[in-house]
Structure 1
Amino acid sequence: MKDFKLNRLIISTLALGCAWGFTSCSNDEPSPIPGIVTTESMFGNYTGSLSILSVAPGISALTDESGEPEGTTATATIDNDTIYFKDFPIKDLVMAVVGDETTADQIVAAVGPVNYNVGYEPALTPAQDSIYFDMKPEPLQLTLTLPAAAESEEAASMNIQVNIVGAEGASYEVATSALNFQLGADEVSLGTGEDLQPLPGFNPLTLNFEMNKSKE
């Protein structure tokens, strides 16, 4: 009988010790490990601004009344190592060509929303706090329908091609979800069909994007 009581005491003690041990272990567990950072961490929807800067010698940047670069709202989606613009902001580019805001507004309305995609090659920093990416843009193609001079004539189409180049230093900051990159417009060509001629006197521009990823 004494042996039976002793065995029960030992079992109870062991059970209490195990329970205490489990409680202690659960309290000592480390905090959950954050998600692993990869180059896919920059995938998502973005909203921000596009400001146009001139890079031609002797030409000042386009600014507002406060002296700051003019900004246009810009939105984009990043997925599969590609920046997708469903409505690329072209007004400032058109302004650089025609030099008149009223005419630029009419052209933008006639062209309509412009889809433009920019592929890139990403690289994660050793510290895994930023992603740098090398952009591979294609020329921006626009088509403008010109009204016929007379009712008996057919409307003509003018093709506008903007040569786009990617600037160095494009980056995504993991902690802030901030995306910063620049695209250069170094030449504009106009024409009908495949017969395009460079626009004389066009001053190269830099398109500066400052965007932030939307919270899911």
Structure 2
Amino acid sequence: MKKLTVLKSLMITMVAFLGFSLTSCNDDRYEPVPVKLSDMNGNYKARLVTSQGGKYNEKIIEFAAKDSIITFKEFPVKEIVKSVVKDPVKADTAIAHLGKIEYKLDYTSKLNADQNVVELTFEPETLTLQIPVDGTIKNTVVKLVTKQKGFFVGYDWSMRFGLEAEKITVDGTDLTPYETIKYEIPISIKN
């Protein structure tokens, strides 16, 4: 009988302890870490959504942000080349010959402490490519623009922005007909 009383007492104590341990604290409020302009510097892995007309393409890319410059070591040029070179086999050959294309995107940043974000205003430069086709070089100039601001979000340390290839000029002549190529980075995580 003594063993049963001790066992019941032990069980009641364990249930009471478990009940108290599962109650939440009243101080469970999220306090965001205030973002600083220097927090943006670093390497990122991003989901890139490229669209032209009704065609969409997604891939994972990497870029670096430092001192008001975003550097793409491998800027995606597939859609640009395929807009210039209509033959798919020749376009794939040209893409292979181009290799990795580096592109630097300048920006200015402004801290928005109320929303805990850094707002980015971009100043895109033109992208110049020399696309080899049938033994000749097509000198291609791509006018890149940004239609809206980008953001570095302090909540999850991610960067979000977009670019558009608004116009392509080949050997001094505007490419027509041409559909705008959109490069959107809905989320990128700092490594």
Shorter-chain TM-score range: 0.7 to 0.9
Of the two, which has the highest radius of gyration? 1
Report whether the alignment pairs 1:214 with 2:177: no
Separation in 2, partners of 1:50, 1:96: 19
CA spacing shift, 1:203–1:50, aligned 2, 3 Å = same
Identity, in percent, stands at: 22
Q: By how many angstroms is 1:169 displaced?
A: 3.0
- Partner in structure 1 of residue 47 of structure 2: 49
Please say if 1:199 is aligned against 2:179. no
> 1:22-37, aligned counterparts within 5 Å?
37=35
User: For residues 127 and 136 of structure 1, what CA distance do their matches in structure 2 show?
Assistant: 25
* Structure 1 stretch displaced more, 123-132 or 199-208: 123-132
- Residue 188 of structure 1 aligns to a residue whose secondary structure is strand
Task: Give, in whole Å, the separation in 2 of the partners of 1:101 and 1:134.
Answer: 36
RMSD between superposed Cα atoms in Å: 2.2
The corresponding residue for 1:165 is 145
SS in 1 for 2:71: strand
Q: How many Å separate the matches in 1 of 2:89 and 2:112?
A: 45
Q: 1:75-114 counterparts in 2 under 5 A? A: 75-99=62-86, 101-114=88-101
Say if 1:212 and 1:38 are closer, same or farther in 2 by CA, change over 3 A: same
User: Is the Cα contact below 8 Å between 1:72 and 1:89 reproduced in 2?
Assistant: no
SS at match of 1:87: coil
Listed as ranges, the gaps of 5+ residues in structure 1 are 1-33, 64-69, 149-155
Q: 2:94 aligns to what SS in structure 1?
A: helix
d(CA) in 1 for partners of 2:110, 2:47: 24
Deviation string 1:116-168 (CA, Å, 9 cap, x unpaired) is 000001111122611111100001111123454xxxxxxx4321111000121
Pairing 1:123-138 to 2, within 5 Å after superposition: 123-127=110-114, 129-138=116-125
AA in 2 matched with 1:182:
G
Residue pairs, 1:170-181, within 5 angstroms: 170-181=150-161
